[in-house]
Copies of this chain bind each other. A is one copy, B any other.
Amino acid sequence: MIGRLNHVAIAVPDLEAATAVYRDTLGARVTPATEQPEHGVTVVFIELPNTKIELLEPLGEKSPIQAFLDRSPAGGIHHVCYEVDDILAARDQLKAQGARVLGDGEPKIGAHGKPVLFLHPKDMLGTLVELEQA
Protein backbone atom coordinates (compact mmCIF):
# COMPACT_ATOMS: atom_id res chain seq x y z
CA MET A 1 0.00 0.00 0.00
CA ILE A 2 2.55 2.66 1.00
CA GLY A 3 4.71 4.09 -1.75
CA ARG A 4 7.41 6.76 -1.64
CA LEU A 5 8.61 8.43 1.51
CA ASN A 6 7.27 11.89 0.77
CA HIS A 7 9.11 13.61 3.63
CA VAL A 8 10.51 13.46 7.13
CA ALA A 9 9.30 16.33 9.32
CA ILE A 10 11.50 17.84 12.02
CA ALA A 11 9.95 20.18 14.59
CA VAL A 12 12.28 23.02 15.56
CA PRO A 13 12.06 25.92 18.03
CA ASP A 14 13.94 28.38 15.78
CA LEU A 15 13.39 27.96 12.06
CA GLU A 16 16.07 30.42 11.00
CA ALA A 17 18.75 28.68 13.05
CA ALA A 18 17.52 25.27 11.88
CA THR A 19 17.58 26.32 8.24
CA ALA A 20 21.16 27.50 8.70
CA VAL A 21 22.17 24.04 9.97
CA TYR A 22 20.88 22.37 6.82
CA ARG A 23 21.91 25.12 4.38
CA ASP A 24 25.30 26.11 5.78
CA THR A 25 26.55 23.20 7.86
CA LEU A 26 25.10 20.32 5.83
CA GLY A 27 25.21 22.17 2.49
CA ALA A 28 21.69 21.26 1.39
CA ARG A 29 19.28 23.16 -0.83
CA VAL A 30 16.56 24.90 1.20
CA THR A 31 13.41 26.79 0.20
CA PRO A 32 12.30 30.13 1.64
CA ALA A 33 10.21 29.92 4.82
CA THR A 34 6.46 29.76 4.15
CA GLU A 35 3.79 30.50 6.73
CA GLN A 36 0.93 28.02 6.71
CA PRO A 37 -1.50 29.55 9.22
CA GLU A 38 -4.15 26.93 8.47
CA HIS A 39 -1.71 24.25 9.69
CA GLY A 40 -0.21 26.28 12.54
CA VAL A 41 3.33 26.03 11.21
CA THR A 42 5.98 27.91 9.28
CA VAL A 43 7.77 25.52 6.93
CA VAL A 44 11.13 25.26 5.18
CA PHE A 45 11.75 22.36 2.81
CA ILE A 46 15.17 20.75 2.49
CA GLU A 47 15.28 19.41 -1.05
CA LEU A 48 17.28 16.19 -1.23
CA PRO A 49 17.70 14.27 -4.51
CA ASN A 50 15.20 11.56 -3.51
CA THR A 51 12.90 13.10 -0.88
CA LYS A 52 12.36 16.15 1.32
CA ILE A 53 12.96 17.12 4.92
CA GLU A 54 10.38 19.53 6.32
CA LEU A 55 11.46 21.87 9.08
CA LEU A 56 8.42 22.97 11.10
CA GLU A 57 8.27 25.93 13.49
CA PRO A 58 5.11 26.63 15.49
CA LEU A 59 2.91 29.44 14.14
CA GLY A 60 0.13 30.91 16.24
CA GLU A 61 -1.25 29.94 19.60
CA LYS A 62 -2.64 26.53 18.76
CA SER A 63 0.15 25.04 16.72
CA PRO A 64 -0.12 21.24 16.52
CA ILE A 65 3.63 20.93 17.08
CA GLN A 66 3.84 23.05 20.25
CA ALA A 67 3.18 20.11 22.60
CA PHE A 68 5.97 18.16 20.89
CA LEU A 69 8.42 21.04 21.44
CA ASP A 70 7.29 21.40 25.05
CA ARG A 71 8.46 17.80 25.55
CA SER A 72 11.55 18.14 23.32
CA PRO A 73 12.62 21.80 23.45
CA ALA A 74 15.65 21.28 21.19
CA GLY A 75 13.42 19.80 18.47
CA GLY A 76 13.35 16.37 16.92
CA ILE A 77 11.75 14.21 14.28
CA HIS A 78 8.01 14.82 14.41
CA HIS A 79 6.61 12.49 11.74
CA VAL A 80 7.25 10.60 8.52
CA CYS A 81 4.95 10.87 5.50
CA TYR A 82 4.31 8.04 3.07
CA GLU A 83 2.47 8.40 -0.23
CA VAL A 84 -0.54 6.24 -1.05
CA ASP A 85 -2.38 5.99 -4.35
CA ASP A 86 -5.87 6.14 -2.86
CA ILE A 87 -6.15 7.67 0.57
CA LEU A 88 -9.73 6.57 1.23
CA ALA A 89 -8.99 2.96 0.28
CA ALA A 90 -5.85 3.09 2.41
CA ARG A 91 -7.78 4.47 5.36
CA ASP A 92 -10.48 1.81 5.14
CA GLN A 93 -7.92 -0.97 4.86
CA LEU A 94 -5.94 0.37 7.82
CA LYS A 95 -9.02 0.76 9.99
CA ALA A 96 -10.09 -2.80 9.13
CA GLN A 97 -6.73 -3.93 10.50
CA GLY A 98 -7.19 -2.00 13.72
CA ALA A 99 -4.97 1.02 13.04
CA ARG A 100 -6.36 4.23 14.49
CA VAL A 101 -6.75 7.30 12.29
CA LEU A 102 -6.37 10.57 14.20
CA GLY A 103 -9.12 13.19 14.30
CA ASP A 104 -12.48 12.48 12.72
CA GLY A 105 -11.01 10.03 10.23
CA GLU A 106 -11.65 12.23 7.21
CA PRO A 107 -8.69 13.34 5.07
CA LYS A 108 -7.71 16.99 5.34
CA ILE A 109 -5.86 19.07 2.76
CA GLY A 110 -2.23 18.97 3.87
CA ALA A 111 0.76 21.24 3.47
CA HIS A 112 1.25 20.21 -0.18
CA GLY A 113 -2.39 20.77 -1.17
CA LYS A 114 -3.20 17.05 -1.21
CA PRO A 115 -5.43 14.97 1.08
CA VAL A 116 -3.64 13.63 4.16
CA LEU A 117 -4.38 11.52 7.24
CA PHE A 118 -2.38 10.82 10.38
CA LEU A 119 -2.11 7.40 12.05
CA HIS A 120 -1.80 6.93 15.81
CA PRO A 121 1.85 6.53 16.90
CA LYS A 122 0.86 3.69 19.23
CA ASP A 123 -0.10 1.60 16.22
CA MET A 124 2.99 2.65 14.23
CA LEU A 125 6.06 1.71 16.32
CA GLY A 126 5.99 4.91 18.35
CA THR A 127 6.14 7.02 15.18
CA LEU A 128 3.57 9.53 14.01
CA VAL A 129 2.80 8.52 10.39
CA GLU A 130 1.19 10.81 7.83
CA LEU A 131 -0.31 9.36 4.67
CA GLU A 132 -0.59 11.63 1.65
CA GLN A 133 -2.45 10.99 -1.56
CA ALA A 134 0.23 10.63 -4.25
Residues of chain B within 8 A of A31, CB atoms compared: none
Report if A59 contacts B (CB, 8 A): no
A77 on interface, CB distance cutoff 8 Å: yes
How far is B120's CA from A74's CA once the two chains are assembled, in angstroms? 12
| Cβ-defined contact, A4 with B48, below 8 A | yes
Q: Is the CB of A4 within 8 A of B50?
A: yes
A76 interface hit (Cβ, 8 Å)? yes
* Stretch of A22-30, A32-40, A101-109 lying at the B interface: A22-30
Is A76 within 8 A of B18, CB to CB? no
| Total A residues in contact with B, Cβ cutoff 8 Å | 39
With beta carbons under 8 angstroms apart, the residue of B18, B49, B126 that contacts A74 is B126
| Docked-complex contact A75 and B25, CB < 8 angstroms | no
Contacts A2-B48, A48-B82, A51-B5 given; indicate if A25 touches B97 (C-beta within 8 A). yes
Query: Are A123 and B5 CB-contacts (below 8 A) given A26-B82, A48-B82, A82-B26?
Result: no
Contacts of A4 in B (CB 8 A): 48-51
Any B CB within 8 A of the CB of A99? yes
> Nearest B residue to A49 by beta-carbon distance?
B4
A contact residues vs B (CB 8 Å cutoff): 1-5, 8, 10, 12, 18, 21, 24-28, 48-51, 53, 55, 72, 74-77, 80, 82, 93-94, 97, 99, 121-127
